[in-house]
Amino acid sequence: MNEIRRNLPIDQQIDILKRGVVDLVSEDDLRRKLTRSIETGTPLRVKLGADPTRPDLHLGHAVILRKMRQFQDLGHTVIMLIGDFTAIIGDPTGKSKTRPPLTLAETRANAQSYLEQCKLILRQEPEVMELRYNAEWLEPMGYADVIRLASRYTVARILERDDFTKRLAGGVPIALHELLYPLTQGYDSVALHADVELGGTDQLFNNLVGRALQRDYDQEPQVVMTLPLLVGLDGTEKMSKSLDNYIGLTDEPHIMFSKLMKVPDTLLENYFTLLTNLPAEQIQALLAGHPVEAHRELARHVTRDFHPDADLDAALERFQSVAKGGIPENIPSFTVLKSDATPEDTYPAARLMVTAGLESSLGAARRTIQGKGLKVNGQTFLDPQGALALPEGGLVIQKGKDKFARMLPES
């Protein structure tokens, strides 16, 4: 990722930090804080709170992590706040019903994977990176402390939140602990003396609560910046692993490249703006040209950020080969044990998928086959209970567009 010079004029810094931002509360406050930071040599404290409910990150998460990196490159300290304690409550944001809470152990296990993936984008030097867990100040709070915190905000203001309003109107229960969530998240900003808080657009309400609580605790209110939720490869909903419309931060280079080549044309500008540092005029020039060339440039820029040593020409050739119905040359091979064979000396297709790591379980493999998601030597295989003979040279199985494995019989 390109390094941004720390001595840029304030206006240029503001332009960099505003890129892709949806809500900025407020630009005047940000300008004042940046100016004071330069004058005093004191870096801003930029907070991002994350409840590690899922351990895997995708390019949707990268949007906000890239904004953190921009603050780092301008000389400021970003605070990766792991909401190990708030995840126990369960963030009700965007939920139509109460979310099942996690245990403290579950959130901390997820956090380790989360943090390892964040290293793909964020700098790790202590002067620009601070890691905190909110159980540090929330777990010791007693009942009286919680009551005092609750007294600083009204029920009417909490119920202004859109998802609470909809649930009330629909007669869907709201548990009392859910009403405490925005207050708890807001108190994190007080505990950290945050100058700026980043979040997705769905976190605007919670982050503004933090701004209000800081005033109440006689702190200077934080600047709130929200980033859009990246639309997934289906072009209709936000990127999500559960919707299988995602590009993972740890995807292999050829997988990431291939998926980026399939971004809907209508989303190209959005992806260029949020996931690259290309100047706006260069983006517009690419969009004015042939869409295939624009896709190639997007795929090259984004994949290179995560895999700087990858052979992107080879990734492009692989994508073109697969797009024409071909099978790439360099695919992983797996030896199938004779003990896995049926009495007819064949091998269950579902078990081959699990052996190759294309699915995690036999049930998942059978569902993939039933959904026409498996090809054998380029031909769709449709029998979830079916089995395959393995010739001496083996055969190639394929899940989806670009996941291949060569299955070889045990010699």
State CA 190 to chain mean position distance. Answer: 26
In this structure, the strands spanning 387-388 and 347-348 are antiparallel
Distance CA 65, CA 76 (A): 14
Kind and range of the H or E element at 27? helix 27-40
Closest to 63 measured CA to CA, from 257, 264, 274? 274
What separation in angstroms does the CA of 356 have from each of 240, 249, 370, 376, 380? 24, 22, 18, 13, 17
Instruction: Classify each residue of 171-180 as buried b or exposed e, where b means 16 or more C-beta atoms within 10 Å of its C-beta.
Output: eeebeeebbb
Look at residue 64 and give its three-state secondary structure.
helix
Give backbone dihedrals phi and psi of 397, rounded to 5 degrees, phi first. -110, 150
Q: What number of other Cβ atoms are within 10 A of residue 309's Cβ?
A: 6
Give backbone dihedrals phi and psi of 211, rounded to 5 degrees, phi first. -60, -45
Amino acid at 287: L
DSSP state of 238: B
Q: Give the N- to C-terminal CA distance of the chain in Å, as an integer.
A: 47
The answer on whether 241 is annotated among ligand-binding residues is yes
Closest to 162 measured CA to CA, from 93, 238, 91? 93
Distance CA 68, CA 194 (A): 13
Residues forming the annotated binding site for ATP?
241
Residues forming the annotated binding site?
241
